Chains A and B, each alone.
Chain A
Amino acid sequence: MTNYVYPRFDYVRSAEQAAGIVRRHPIVVIGAGPIGLTAALDLAARGQPVIVLDDNDTVSIGSRAVCYAKRPLEIWDRLHCAAPMVARGVSWNVGKVFFRDQLSYQFDLLPETGHQWPAMINLQQYHLEEILVAKCRDNPLIDLRWKHRLISLKQTPDHAELAVETPDGIFTMEAEWVIACDGANSDTRRMVGAEFKGQYFQDRFLIADVVMNADFPTERWFWFDPPFHPGQSVLLHRQSDNIWRIDFQLGWNADPDEEKKPERVIPRIKAMLGDKADFSLEWVSIYQFACRRIDNFRYGRVLFAGDAAHQVSPFGARGANTGVQDIDNLAWKLALVLRGEAGEALLDTYHTERAYAADDNLLNSTRATDFITPKTKVSRYFRDAALELAQHHDFARPLVNSGRLSVPTPYVGSPLNTPDDGALVGDMRPGTNAADAPVTIGGKPGWFLNCLGDGFTVVTFGNPTSKTKLTAGQLEARIICVGRDIEDARGLLAARYGASPGTTYLFRPDQYVAARWREFDEAEIADAVSRATGRPAAHQRELAA
């Protein structure tokens, strides 16, 4: 019983290939997966025309990424995609961890209320991609080109030359900028000669998408050493359409071809669900993984994002979720550079900030993998000790690691941040993604993040200014006064931002805090905007002069 019919997207011969004319495009994205499609939508939202090349003509085969976290949902909401994703997917906040036949502990990813988006949704990657493809097709700035395979790439100082193969043969196109979103086995990465190094793991895992009517709650369930799969781990997630995702750890010596066979998979699932369970297999895959990243996210005119730039273990849902945040970081910077409003050096901060985030993800993902798949007998004893103690004592629960679920990495120490004056309280330090909160806009309930626009935004508490915008060099920043433009009826915004009258925040176009102050000061804000776009701030310029 297969529910899902994979769409086929038509190959269309491009006008440039038909005419045999070499055209130069501002942005070419390689790969129409979740990251490439998000790149197209974000850049188009910033007014940039984008061409997306994909060597295939359909969506992801199998459920693959499955879990999408709050921050990517906020990014997709900025691109008007989050609502259909949440409607199509299943939302969850609670995870349970079992050891042998006992519940070890449970956690809640989003214990506080007053957030628009859930901590996580589960949605098959093919559904997610269909939503993104539909949004791209509706956007006249986006040109999706299926059955277009990049076969070589040559760079000059001001563009890249791409040889592209289609059913009509090979043609050449040029791109001012290339965004490589072509996955962990990225050909583009090989073409620029980048290094992709890290740690490989020996364990093999079996993924099964199973169709069944089951009364498990919508929670993440993780088993260490369960009676139905002794010595290994198992992960269960609910997806939409009554499809359940089950991951079985198989160990080092599993034969991938054997283990994929239904006669091997079905008994494993029956052992878990009982003999009477009524289910059918939708998709089965065997995987091994590595934790590694590219040495530089930028190679001249080529920018790497998603799995092409970093590959993590699946524990913690840090793959696609990180990739979407790469694009969130890159799109506004690239748009500013293309408009001549920032220098190319701003793109080097894409590497600085996202390599830092990738390393944080790799660290978390490697630690989770080492907990889940102990490499020695003694490390297994420590793992089991933590699990046994966690059943009875709170103290051991933070040691149990079934995957630390994806949360954004603050860009601590980014050169784009304006350091604090030290007098501010609260967690919203420069380099942190903006916390959401319920607010009232024109008497109607709304959400704070939706108030932040596409550019730089100043949010100030109280009414220290009557202005609605200010200029910083070539850029404009919109000013939102809390109390004038929006109301903080429940006081949650002020609480989350540690704000008192006069407190002023500067948000970047990706909704990250660039700077914050006790008082509203136009010159300081202009300086911070300048710094956040990679230009030396005014007082630094004076020193240099």
Chain B
Amino acid sequence: MTLNLAPGIVDPDGFYAELIDSQRDLDEEQALRMNARLILLLANHIGDRAVLTEAIRYARNPAG
């Protein structure tokens, strides 16, 4: 399996708003801590090591 780089999020505007709203009342440290938890939750859901490696690569350098 390879990392899906095509649009895949249902209701992208709604998701984005929810993500930002969820951290609106957090300070920077709380938000960074929440992001860390979110990354681990999502990473576990993906599971596939090769996909995770690709995602880490694209996150570090969006051009890939």
Contacts and interface: CB of A to CB of B under 8 A. Distances in A.
A27 to B, nearest CB: 45
A150 to B, nearest CB: 47
B44 A396 contact: yes
A87 interface: no
18 contacts: A378-B36, A381-B32, A381-B33, A381-B35, A381-B36, A382-B36, A382-B40, A385-B33, A385-B36, A385-B37, A386-B40, A388-B37, A389-B40, A389-B41, A395-B44, A396-B40, A396-B44, A399-B40
Interface in A376-407: 377-378, 381-382, 384-386, 388-389, 395-396, 399
Nearest to A388: B37
A381 B41 CA distance: 14
Contacts of B35: 381
**B39, B40, B41, B44 pick with most chain A CB within 10 angstroms:** B40
A214 to B, nearest CB: 34
A395 to B, nearest CB: 4
Nearest to A379: B36
8 cross-chain pairs, A with B, having the tightest CB-CB distances, nearest first: A385-B36, A381-B36, A385-B37, A395-B44, A382-B36, A381-B33, A381-B32, A385-B40
A388 B35 CA distance: 13
A395 B47 CA distance: 10
Interface string B24-40: 00000000110111011
Interface of B: 32-33, 35-37, 39-41, 44
Contacts of A389: 37, 40-41
Contacts of B37: 385, 388-389
Nearest to A398: B44
Interface in A353-396: 377-378, 381-382, 384-386, 388-389, 395-396
A341 B41 CA distance: 57
Given A378-B32, A381-B35, A384-B33, 17 more contacts: A377-B32, A378-B36, A381-B32, A381-B36, A382-B39, A382-B40, A384-B36, A385-B33, A385-B36, A385-B39, A385-B40, A386-B40, A388-B37, A395-B41, A395-B44, A396-B44, A399-B40
A280 to B, nearest CB: 41
Q: Is the interface of A mostly helix, strand, loop or mixed?
A: helix
Interface of A: 377-378, 381-382, 384-386, 388-389, 395-396, 399
Nearest to B37: A385
A395 B39 CA distance: 13
Contacts of B44: 395-396
Nearest to A383: B36
A388 B32 CA distance: 14
Contacts of A386: 40
A395 B42 CA distance: 11
Residue picked from A382, A385, A388, most chain B C-beta under 10 Å:
A385
B38 to A, nearest CB: 8
A102 to B, nearest CB: 16
A399 B40 CA distance: 9
Contacts of B39: 382, 385
Contacts of A395: 41, 44
Nearest to B40: A385
B57 to A, nearest CB: 18
Nearest to B36: A385
A396 B39 CA distance: 12
A385 B44 CA distance: 13
A386 B33 CA distance: 10
A398 to B, nearest CB: 9
A388 B39 CA distance: 13
Contacts of A378: 32, 36
Contacts of A385: 33, 36-37, 39-40
B15 to A, nearest CB: 21
A382 B56 CA distance: 14
Nearest to A394: B44
Contacts of A377: 32
A383 to B, nearest CB: 9
A130 to B, nearest CB: 47
Contacts of A382: 36, 39-40
A103 to B, nearest CB: 19
A245 B41 CA distance: 35
A386 to B, nearest CB: 6
Chain B CB count within 10 A is highest, among A382, A386, A396, A399, for A382
Nearest to A390: B40
Contacts of A384: 33, 36
Nearest to B45: A395
A385 B39 CA distance: 9
A396 B38 CA distance: 12
A279 to B, nearest CB: 36
Contacts of B40: 382, 385-386, 389, 396, 399
Nearest to A378: B32
A506 B16 CA distance: 60
A378 B32 CA distance: 8
B45 to A, nearest CB: 9
B49 to A, nearest CB: 13
Contacts of B36: 378, 381-382, 384-385
A381 B35 CA distance: 9
A377 B32 CA distance: 10
